[in-house]
Amino acid sequence: MKKIGVLTSGGDSPGMNACLRAVVRTAVHHNIEVLGFLRGYEGVIDNKYNILTTTSVSGIIQRGGTILKTARSERFRTDEGVKTAAKNLKELKLDGLVIIGGDGSFRGAIELSKHYNIPIVGCAGTIDNDLVGTDFTIGYDTAINTVVEALDKIRDTAESHDRVFVIEVMGRDAGLIALRSAIASGAEGLLVPELKRDVNSLLDKIKNWRTSKSSKIVVVAEGDESGGAYKVADLIKANCPEFDIRVTVLGHIQRGGNPTCMERVNASLLGYNAVTALLGGHKNEMIGIIDKKIIYTPFEKAVKHIEELNPDLVKMMEVLSS
Ligand code: F6P
């Protein structure tokens, strides 16, 4: 193996730089040249890349975002875009490609490999943690810590005013950010897409609130069927007009910031193992970590939607927040 490519794709996530650094330095260790494509698949279509060396990735392990930049490439969703990307990769004579991204990026990798049979491996990079075949995706740990810090601050003001806060967190189709941050911040309510009919149970719970704690926090995942924090706040207001309610949508603050220690180590492990996986003949697989072990999951399986949250955590949340 002489030359590989690497790119970051989809929504950025803290730890992508740490992963990239590990990919580059592991490849250099094995005398492999690394081409870093800019702006995800856009860079492959436009043949825009930089040759990455050990020094190109110096001083980035602690930085959020991605130095390669990223994109949700619309052109790569077209047949023409994928064909152009495949042609460019062939002409560059790459022996392998590392994709750092989420489900959309891995679906793109599946399409790409239909046109050019280059070995591709993926490092799970998304704050949503919604990929099958890994306990944690790159960015998730940092994102939940960012959310918890925000919720702690909101608790101070909520408690001072005896208010109810409805907080919307990211998670387009998944409630994993919402669940862990709700548990860690002692939130009273949780609304996530994986648990159906939960608005009704939240309203039941609210009726008992009147006699207990003076501040309440309800965490809503953006993908929940309730339609988001403002709609939930309206619903609570309609049922309990006496509550003083405020809404905070945390938004993209969840995607930025310095990665946590755990993030940096896990992202490095994924990047390091991506290169050794290519050397070992793996292809079309995502590298993940389950129970501290490196696991390889075919892209087709990795992108399957996670339908269920950990039932033990859900039950514990119910008990502890009652
Ligand atoms: O996929 C990660 C994520 O942060 C989701 O939680 C969120 O719905 C989405 O990206 C937002 O994407 P964009 O920054 O492209 O609006």
Q: Hunting for tokens 């988001």 — which residue is that?
A: 228
Residue 211 is predicted with a pLDDT of: 63
72 CA to centre of ligand 1 in angstroms:
10
Instruction: Tell which atom from ligand 1 comes closest to the C-alpha of 222.
Output: 8
Tell whether pTM > 0.75.
Answer: yes
Q: Which of the following is catalytic: 46, 79, 103, 128?
A: 128
User: What sign results for the dihedral spanned by CA atoms 294, 296, 299, 300?
Assistant: negative
pLDDT tens-digit readout, 214-244: 899 999 999 999 999 999 999 999 999 999 9
pLDDT tens-digit readout, 58-80: 999 999 999 999 999 999 999 99
Domain boundaries, the chain: 3-139+259-302, 142-255
Q: Which two tokens stand for residue 306?
A: 């996670």
Task: List Cα–Cα distances, 98 to 28, 54, 95, 102, 212, in angstroms.
Answer: 14, 17, 11, 13, 52
- The residue whose CB lies within 8 Å of the most ligand 1 atoms, and thus the one to mutate among 170, 224, 249, is 170
Taking the C-alpha atoms of residue 201 and residue 269, their distance in angstroms, rounded to an integer, is: 41
8 A C-beta contact, residue 30 and residue 4: no
Q: Which two tokens stand for residue 56?
A: 């190109």
Taking the C-alpha atoms of residue 205 and residue 208, their distance in angstroms, rounded to an integer, is: 6
Is 3-139+259-302 a CATH 3.40.50.450 domain?
yes
Q: Hunting for tokens 């949780």 — which residue is that?
A: 190
Instruction: Name the residue at shortest CA distance from atom 10 of ligand 1.
Output: 11
Helices (H), 79-228: 79-91, 103-115, 140-161, 176-185, 198-209
Task: List Cα–Cα distances, 246 to 216, 226, 231, 243, 321, in angstroms.
Answer: 10, 17, 12, 10, 20
**128 has catalytic annotation:** yes
Residue 59 is predicted with a pLDDT of: 98
Taking the C-alpha atoms of residue 204 and residue 189, their distance in angstroms, rounded to an integer, is: 11
Taking the C-alpha atoms of residue 195 and residue 270, their distance in angstroms, rounded to an integer, is: 31
Question: DSSP characters for 13-60?
Answer: -TTHHHHHHHHHHHHHHTT-EEEEETTTHHHHHTT-EEEE-TGGGTT-
8 A C-beta contact, residue 16 and residue 142: no
Give per-residue burial for 102-141: e unless 16+ CB within 10 Å, then b: bbbbbbbbebbbebbebbbbbbbbbbbbbbbbbebbbbbb
Instruction: Tell which atom from ligand 1 comes closest to the C-alpha of 127.
Output: 2
- The residue whose CB lies within 8 Å of the most ligand 1 atoms, and thus the one to mutate among 74, 127, 142, 249, is 127
Q: Which two tokens stand for residue 262?
A: 């755990």
Instruction: Tell me whether the CATH fold assigned to 3-139+259-302 matches the one assigned to 142-255.
Output: yes
Residue 212 is predicted with a pLDDT of: 67
The arrangement of secondary structure in 142-255, i.e. its CATH architecture, is 3-Layer(aba) Sandwich (3.40)
Instruction: Name the residue at shortest CA distance from atom 7 of ligand 1.
Output: 172
Residues in the ligand 1 pocket, defined by CB under 6 Å: 11, 72, 102, 126-128, 170-172, 222, 255
Q: Which two tokens stand for residue 244?
A: 């003083």
Mean pLDDT per 10-residue interval, the chain, length 322 residues: 98 98 98 98 98 98 98 97 98 98 98 96 97 97 98 97 97 96 97 88 84 87 96 95 96 98 98 98 98 98 92 95 84
Q: Which two tokens stand for residue 66?
A: 């991605």
Residue 115 is predicted with a pLDDT of: 96
Rg (CA), the chain: 21
Instruction: Tell which atom from ligand 1 comes closest to the C-alpha of 172.
Output: 8
Q: Which two tokens stand for residue 195?
A: 């648990």
If DSSP codes are grouped into helix, strand and coil, which group holds residue 175? coil
